[in-house]
Amino acid sequence: MLGDRTFRFDGSTSDLAQQFYRLHRDGVTLPSLPAVTVPSAVQKRLADAGLSFADLPGLLQRALLWDAGFAFDVTGRLVRIWTLDGRTMAEIAVPKSEFSNVCPLQTCSQPDNMSWYKSVECPGDEILRVARCVADEVHDANSDLSMWATGGNVSMTPEMLVYKHDWYDVRSRSSFLVHAIHTRKRGESPAYGQCSRSAISAYMYGALVIPCHPLSRLNSTIQVARMSEPRPGKIVAAWLKQVSHAGQDESSDDEGISTTTIAIIVVAAAIAAVCAAFAFCCWRRRRRRAKSLSARAIGNSGEDTYVAVDTAKSAGLQLPGSAGDQAGSKTSAWDDAVIAAVRIPFDKVVMGAVISRGGFGEVYRGTYNGQHVAIKRLLPERRRDLRQIERFLEEVKLNASLEHECIVRFVGVAWDSLSDLSVVSEFMEGGDLRAALARFDEQQRPTGFDAVKIKIALHVAHALTYLHSLRPMVLHRDLKSKNVLLNSALDAKLTDFGVARERADRTMTAGVGSSLWMAPEVMLGERYDEKADVFSFGVLLSELDTHKLPYAHAVEPGTGRKLPDTAVLQLVMLGRLSVLFTVGADAEMVALGRACVSVHSEERPTAAEVLHRVHLLYQEHQHA
């Protein structure tokens, strides 16, 4: 008989699969999960057992997802879970004895006279010291529930919900973010500091809560090194085998279909498939034409369904003398609370030599309070354009809101007048990645992926995962080697958020960024999302491999002359040209790069998936 007879679902274990099986064994049924996109890790286990997800009982569906490392957010979207130190999902609950060493506990009572425990005031970094799991980004408002709890009972059907806990601790003056897996819905759980939802009775069954590290906030050298996909548990494997054998027994009893009937069905199905394929091709051709026309219309309409961080009207800011600065208006960009909070004394900023120049601004080397810094200013011809200044200030506001070890650190903004507005950030002495790759080429450094290059890719993946985990989500939209800066140890940080946007809808249409790194859907003016950044990351991987600019191998037949960018982009949009990876380069990195530059955005991995795969490869190269 399957299952552990000594098992008790009391919050001391995270073996939800065991509880699901016990409920199944006791005759409890749950409806099948609606519209779940089955993860590839789950599909593989089902294929090995000869089963499909839709054929599984509702309880087994939940047990399988949990065992493979998946839970849900409040929207019903799957959230990926990784375990630390090679644990199974049954082993990620933090024991009371361990949690009480770092945080105080509140004791509550259940109707069965058993005690259960929950966390009370505790800094987030202390909670995460004992966490045993990592959770992907969560689409959720902030939760006011406890971040750790025990409790439960034999008849409880556990939920698998990941809630976000984001708060500012006044005493330590620190911001914290913890993702916690809750086995009871928010509306059915007692509030923070309470033992019951009832005003009549103080008794209520507890429910397991498991704190996890948020993936976007992981330390790149410590916690990430410990994370892995969960080891499969025994109960789910045995349960799948049981269901598979039961299905085989049923099919062996079905003798009512003759060989002739089967042949007729097969032929009919083949004919239907051919007809369907022909119809699909016709539909797809018409749809592409319609999309092309729609894209042109959208491009000319001026409409935008996103909260832009690079347009003046998004901020509601007015500059003195601008069209919106009407008589009686008391609001100006200089009065904005965020800008005021990050302003630094202009006389403390000392300008040095120009180190780079772009289409909108130039960057100087300089000092601030004796420290080496980078100072960005608008080009002289743009400093009198109020729209450009407002956009520049929007970039300041976005930079001020970003805080991650793989993003160039923002220091502040200084000005004495409109024309000398200066954004100050940390100085990266290694220069940009494009220049470094050119040096690699000159030095005849081997192509392919070594530990240093994979480390650079890892740091960029960390930055992208962080941006895509923010709410609203931030898309970089101009990821390229020029916008990746290096220090002397070749640690990488992402920079230049001049065209970044906060995503306020599911897709965007305004095409921006550098064309050779641009995703096909952006080139076409079609709707796009965060997968456009992933495409650019794939192009960046090609640069790391070959040291060359994207599509440098694209030449005219016969003459050998480089194809013009317009021809290159046309071929990329048609799916007839892709970036190059060298023969003999790390096969896993090449496979990841090719997945990232898939023409179809839905086939590209998420930034979080990219981060996980690159980290595993980095570990392998370090130990090689």
Q: Structure tokens of 57?
A: 């009982």
Q: DSSP letter at 336?
A: -
Nearest to 455 by CA among 486, 497, 496, 495: 486
In the chain, the amino acid numbered 329 is S
Any idea of the CA torsion for 310, 316, 320, 323, to the nearest 10 degrees?
A: 90
- As a whole number of angstroms, the distance between CA 528 and CA 476 comes to 13
Residue 99: is it exposed, middle or buried by C-beta count within 10 angstroms (0-12/13-18/19+)?
buried
- Within a 13 Å sphere around the CA of 106, how many CA atoms are in the beta-carbon half? 18
Cα 453 from chain centre: 21
Q: Catalytic residues, which ones? A: 478
- As a whole number of angstroms, the distance between CA 452 and CA 622 comes to 10
Residue 156: CB partners within 8 Å, gap ≥ 6?
A: 9, 19, 183, 205, 207
61: left (phi over 0), alpha (psi -120 to 50) or beta: alpha
Q: What is the b/e burial string over 322-355, where b = at least 16 CB atoms within 10 angstroms of the residue's CB?
A: beebeeeeeebbeebebbeebebeeeebeeeeee
- Signed CA dihedral, 461, 463, 468, 470: sign only: positive
Q: DSSP letter at 231?
A: P
- As a whole number of angstroms, the distance between CA 513 and CA 523 comes to 10
Query: DSSP characters for 592-606?
Result: HHHHHT-SSGGGSPP
Q: How far apart are the first and last CA of the chain?
A: 44
- As a whole number of angstroms, the distance between CA 124 and CA 228 comes to 22
Q: Structure tokens of 286?
A: 């018409």
- As a whole number of angstroms, the distance between CA 554 and CA 322 comes to 46
